[in-house]
Amino acid sequence: MDALPSVEPAGADASFGVTRVEVSGFRSARDVAFSPGPLCALVGEANAGKSNLLAAIRAVLDPAAAPLTAADVPKDGDGEVSIRVRLADGRTAALEASPGQDAVTVGANPPPLLFLPAEKRAGPLPAAWTTRRKGRATSVFKRAFARHTATPGAQALAVLDAVESCSSHGLGGLLLLIEEPELYLRPQAQRYLYRLLREFSLVGNQVIYSTHSPAFLDVTRMDELVFVERLVGTGTRALQPEPVSADEDFRVMTEFDAARSELFLARAVVLVEGLTEKLVLPFVFSALGYDVDREAISIVECGGKPNLPLFARICRATGVSFVVVHDSDRKTSGRLAPAEQALNALIAETAGEERVIVLDPDFEAVAGLSGHKRKPERAWREFAERAAVDMPGELVVVAERAISFVRAYAEARR
């Protein structure tokens, strides 16, 4: 870490950074708007347009380093490019271009900006760092890249080193645009870098990044997530969900680990009560000729039936297609206890009845399993040997429903 003179921490600077981004006619972004905070993650599949949004911000704030080219104007558009960025101090930077006319940039004096594209971190040369206005934070990054140039892995450590140094010395005033900060880092280092990026933002910097790693997604701060997708006919679009409510933030924090956070990166999600269903359902998909990983389907164990409404609300808020599977828990008498009846109704109301598949009275009965001893292991061993014709009809419906969501997802993006 850099040995810098001690300075007073900058603290979170409300007058620094970008508060609104509006992009029209730039690459795949025909009409996209979002409002980044001090830390903002762009989430979506490859080719959705995440990198294009980062490039748009760079183009308007550092036009000398990133001038518009013919490739930036989509062939099926009208040739009009408009990129507008509102800064935290209320000023606006804008880039406007039209056919046969050079781009015109107007407005505010841009903040110091550092752009770290993924492709520049795959070779032996230092990553491309560009900014018209340099400060102490950018100098730290420059020195870090000068030291770590031998391998892509070393460059990844250079990013970590520079962010750590700026955070510990309270160096603020930098807008960091970075593609896939997880590149070449082991899982533990990814989690550490994410914590450092948060500290980095708290001392008066802003970070806008694209990612495919759940380690860089915080469900307790959903307002920091921007979900990016690319649709046929409309191009790239962005969805920015509302934050979780104050009375749910602790539950979300304790229930969501990295495995469960994968739902943000899935094409479809199956929400289940517990481990047994999570272990069994991949065999159901496989028997029908589908591989859940190839189809980008996440089977998420929610830690019990009472958590299903919470996970369903998060899926709906983030636009992720999902199916909920749960037991009815009907008693042998045929009746439902009032508490179970109320919970079943809440799940149906939260998820939507069309997304809910109820196993009556429970998974064991539907699956033909007897007893509860070592249930996950017994279910796993038995379903591993079952053919498609022996799969319970209710579980087949679960798989087919999830696959239909995946096919609809792919069709919308062709």
Q: What is the CATH number of the domain that holds 157?
A: 3.40.50.300
- 3 in any annotated domain: no
pLDDT, position 75: 73
Whether residue 208 is found in the same domain as residue 89: yes
Residues of the chain with pLDDT under 50: 1-14, 124-128
Distance CA 385, CA 66 (A): 57
CB hemisphere CA count around 111 (13 angstroms): 28
Other beta carbons less than 10 A from residue 360's beta carbon: 11
pLDDT, position 68: 84
Whether residue 140 is found in the same domain as residue 86: yes
CATH number for the domain spanning 365: value is: 3.40.50
Find out whether 177 and 145 touch, Cβ atoms under 8 Å.
no
Whether residue 76 is found in the same domain as residue 202: yes
Find out whether 111 and 175 touch, Cβ atoms under 8 Å.
yes
- 6 in any annotated domain: no
Whether residue 100 is found in the same domain as residue 220: yes
Boundary residue ending a domain (239, 260, 289): 239
Whether residue 84 is found in the same domain as residue 203: yes
pLDDT, position 249: 59
Whether residue 291 is found in the same domain as residue 357: yes
- 98 in any annotated domain: yes
Per-residue pLDDT of 245-263, as tens digits, reads 766 656 666 677 777 888 8
Distance CA 282, CA 285 (A): 5
Find out whether 213 and 225 touch, Cβ atoms under 8 Å.
no
Q: Containing domain of residue 188, as a range?
A: 18-239
Structure tokens at 17: 């950074």
What's the distance, Cα to Cα, between the start and end of the chain in Å? 46
pLDDT, position 11: 38
Find out whether 23 and 83 touch, Cβ atoms under 8 Å.
yes
Whether residue 26 is found in the same domain as residue 145: yes
pLDDT, position 285: 97
Distance CA 337, CA 331 (A): 8
- 172 in any annotated domain: yes
Sequence-ordered list of residues with C-beta below 8 angstroms from that of 202, at least 6 positions apart, any chain: 11, 12, 38, 167
Whether residue 186 is found in the same domain as residue 220: yes
Whether residue 114 is found in the same domain as residue 73: yes
Q: How many domains does the chain fold into? A: 2
Whether residue 226 is found in the same domain as residue 108: yes
pLDDT, position 150: 66
Whether residue 311 is found in the same domain as residue 216: no
Whether residue 224 is found in the same domain as residue 324: no
Boundary residue ending a domain (183, 213, 239): 239
pTM: 0.85
Find out whether 277 and 283 touch, Cβ atoms under 8 Å.
no
